[in-house]
Structure 1
Amino acid sequence: MKNNFVDSELTKESRKQLILEKLEDYGIYWSEEKNKIQAYDFREIQRRLAERTNSKGKEYFNKVVDSLALPSDINILKVNPYLVAVESKTSHQRLWAYASSFWSIPISNGYGRRMRYFIFDGQNNKLIGILGLCDPVIGLGVRDKSIGWSKDQKLRKLYNCLTAYILGAIPPYNLILGSKLIALTVMFPQIRQDFHQKYKDRNSLISGENKDSYLAYVDTLGAFGKSAIYNRLINWEFIDYTKGQSHLHITANGSWEIIKEIVPDHIFETYKFGKGPNWKMRILKAGLRELGLSTDMLSIGWQRAYYRCPLAQNWNQYLLGETDEIVWKDFEKDKLVKYWYERWINPRLDVLSHKLMSS
């Protein structure tokens, strides 16, 4: 939807200058001579963009404090995660917003189908972290190449994939490798079971068909290149890097409102599949062209690591359409938590305990 947050009387030249000024406010410069973005500190840029988009949740601290752990609330050897689906009620929305405020990159609301979870600790019922899953980007070369998809195969089976757009632990659980534990919850049978229950009677937005509601594949992108969360973690596999195109440095700095108002309605309203990021990229490109700016502005060079976490043994054959039968990997909650302890916690228990008590 177009909202008139920006003066509709602004000329195209004024809009163009506003966009360039907003980029410069975050340390991003457009070189007309070189026809490319110049950005010198990606982490600082993303941190400042995150401050703008994520920080509102901090105001809810007093409302959600009962769900937050102190270091003294945690016995590392008794951490016992359980998932709670995020509902629309105010208390859940406040807690989600507060937890999201710890992220150092701008966080969107997810696209299309969306499943969000709080991960609480059974020993104290305090929040360990959060997990957000949403519809995947339609066009992602690194994923499509690694799966071996043709265009038709992808349109048939993208329905059976989700992307983790936010995943991690909040303080103080982040000090004890809690984010690795959150990444393991993606494999809890509850996730694929909830997916099946939620979407088994719904038609696909792309095809209009009622497809098999099997969640066979979850993926994600590291914020800054590779991520320590997924490094050497069971069933999470690094594939390759993205090409470095992004819209966040433009949409998260306030320029989205400036651009979308000058995009013709017949182009703006062409989205499908739940207003996904591909749609936003198309609108941005159309808007930049309208303003006489190069679409190369989207090539900022933020190469992000692409990771996948297949939930089925025969995920590749299933996603290629070579079989309609799905064979699940043998993941159980208790075994995954035990793995977290044996592989990541017990060998570092003294160090992690010291970190926790020193915080």
Structure 2
Amino acid sequence: MEEKHKQFLKRKLLKNLKDYGVVWNEKKHQVIVEDFREVQRKLAERTNSKGQEYKNKVQKYLAQPSDINISKINPRLVAVESRAEHQRLWAYATSRWSVPVTVGYGRRLRYFVFDRQNDKLIGIVGLCDPVIGLGTRDDKSIGWTKDQKVQRLYNCMTAYILGAIPPYNKVLGSKLVALTLMFPRVRKDFYQKYKDSSSLISGENKKSHLIYIDTLGAFGKSAIYNRLTNWEFINYTKGQSHLHITANGSWELIKQVVPEDAFETYEFGQGPNWKLRTLRRALRELGLSEEMLSIGWQRGYYRCPLAENWQEYLLGETNRVIWKSFTQRDLVNYWYERWVMPRFDTLQANLESYTDR
């Protein structure tokens, strides 16, 4: 590629960043962001907004405050299917997110969380393959070696999207959605879906036990998981990200710099690590520093183990799983008694005062 064209792409990439509130200080090799939430909001408008066009088509699934009796909220999981109606509803739900939503990587389980009392949508949750390299998980949470990770990462999944949509988000619906990941159905669905699959990393046919779920708070710690049973905050990530570049329209520019064969490696279960590596390569080609990826979005890391002996299993010290004794009824009762009842009047007022945007 001619140097002149590289300089054009470099200027375009820097302009795209600036348009979304991200400034690159060339002298200090430093990213400057005044308002992280505003950057995320702008990126979300670009990446998530398409689903708004489906609102009229999915209206029957969307609750009004008058549809909801808080004391009768009762969630049921419905697996997201490939049919058009489900895809439209999923797209609309993600359009309500204030941060850019990715599609997930590798293996995926996606669920709608419906309310049995009215068949309206409470929220959504999506699980995907975890990133391969995440120090907060590897060192501070699980404490495994590289070899142990190769053997047991297959038994982990990441919640890449999780939460309630309006008006259920006004009555602590997101905490309820987080609890649904502990419903026995989720680990059973995982087992049925992947019991005959081989690991993309090792090529082995491993036991498809979903032992460990984790997630990242969008802005540091998250109120969703705060003091929620079985969800535990571990630490913060280092603050590297690719979304401020890949979600702002610059991914097409990157494709012009990096050889085509580099875009084939994502198929081997390398997830967002692959995107970071590809971006590093492109930034070098454009004469930019890799420090552009160090944007400072330190996200809170949370874990939700599904087995009593989760750490022993993930470290390879046992092949026997002792499942935690969660039941759907107990989890829903916990949500109601621990979170709803002490705040019932406030939540009711939140619901009654809600108006859709």
The TM-score, its normalising length taken from structure 1, stands at: 0.96
Amino acid at match of 2:107: R
For the structure 1 residues 299 and 9, does the alpha-carbon distance in structure 2 shift closer, same or farther, using more than 3 Å as the test?
closer
Q: 2:228 maps to what in 1?
A: 233
Deviations 1:85-129 (A, max 9, x none): 000000000000000011111000000000000000000000000
Deviations 1:209-255 (A, max 9, x none): 11000000000000000000000000000000000000000000011
1:49 to 43, 48, 51: 43
Deviations 1:302-333 (A, max 9, x none): 00000000000000000000000000000000
Q: 1:255 maps to what in 2?
A: 250
2:99 to 78, 101, 105: 105
2:53 to 59, 71, 82: 59
Contact 1:167 1:183 survives alignment (8 Å): yes
Matches of 2:3 and 2:192 in 1, distance apart?
49
* Residues 199-210 of structure 1: pairs in structure 2 closer than 5 A: 199-210=194-205
> Which consecutive unaligned segments of at least 5 residues does structure 1 have?
1-7
Q: 1:214 maps to what in 2?
A: 209
**CA-CA distance at 1:208 after TM superposition:** 1.2
**CA-CA distance at 1:10 after TM superposition:** 7.7
Q: 1:165 maps to what in 2?
A: 160
Matches of 1:167 and 1:211 in 2, distance apart?
27
Q: 2:271 maps to what in 1?
A: 276
Contact 1:245 1:299 survives alignment (8 Å): yes
| Residue 77 (1) aligns with residue 66 (2) | no
Amino acid at match of 1:328: W
Aligned length: 353
Matches of 2:261 and 2:222 in 1, distance apart?
40
2:86 to 79, 84, 92: 92
Secondary structure in structure 2 of the residue aligned to 1:235: coil
Matches of 1:68 and 1:271 in 2, distance apart?
36
Matches of 2:40 and 2:268 in 1, distance apart?
27
| Residue 319 (1) aligns with residue 311 (2) | no
Name the stretch that deviates more: 259-268 or 280-289.
259-268
Amino acid at match of 2:168: Y
Matches of 1:103 and 1:126 in 2, distance apart?
18
Q: 2:179 maps to what in 1?
A: 184
Contact 1:225 1:305 survives alignment (8 Å): yes
Q: 1:4 maps to what in 2?
A: none
Contact 2:132 2:270 survives alignment (8 Å): no
Matches of 2:189 and 2:40 in 1, distance apart?
33
Contact 1:206 1:272 survives alignment (8 Å): no
Amino acid at match of 2:321: I
Matches of 1:231 and 1:302 in 2, distance apart?
19
Secondary structure in structure 1 of the residue aligned to 2:332: helix
**CA-CA distance at 1:260 after TM superposition:** 2.0
* Residues 127-142 of structure 1: pairs in structure 2 closer than 5 A: 127-142=121-136
Q: 1:13 maps to what in 2?
A: 7
**CA-CA distance at 1:266 after TM superposition:** 3.9
| Residue 345 (1) aligns with residue 313 (2) | no
1:119 to 113, 119, 139: 113
**CA-CA distance at 1:206 after TM superposition:** 1.1
Q: 1:303 maps to what in 2?
A: 298
Deviations 1:331-357 (A, max 9, x none): 000000000010000111111111111
Amino acid at match of 1:204: S
The TM-score, its normalising length taken from structure 2, stands at: 0.97
Matches of 2:262 and 2:205 in 1, distance apart?
28
Q: 2:281 maps to what in 1?
A: 286
| Residue 39 (1) aligns with residue 33 (2) | yes
Matches of 1:69 and 1:175 in 2, distance apart?
12
> Which consecutive unaligned segments of at least 5 residues does structure 2 have?
none
Amino acid at match of 1:81: P
Secondary structure in structure 1 of the residue aligned to 2:138: helix
Matches of 1:270 and 1:83 in 2, distance apart?
33
CA RMSD of aligned residues (A): 1.4
Secondary structure in structure 2 of the residue aligned to 1:137: coil
Deviations 1:246-293 (A, max 9, x none): 000000001111012211234333334345000011100001111111
Amino acid at match of 1:175: K
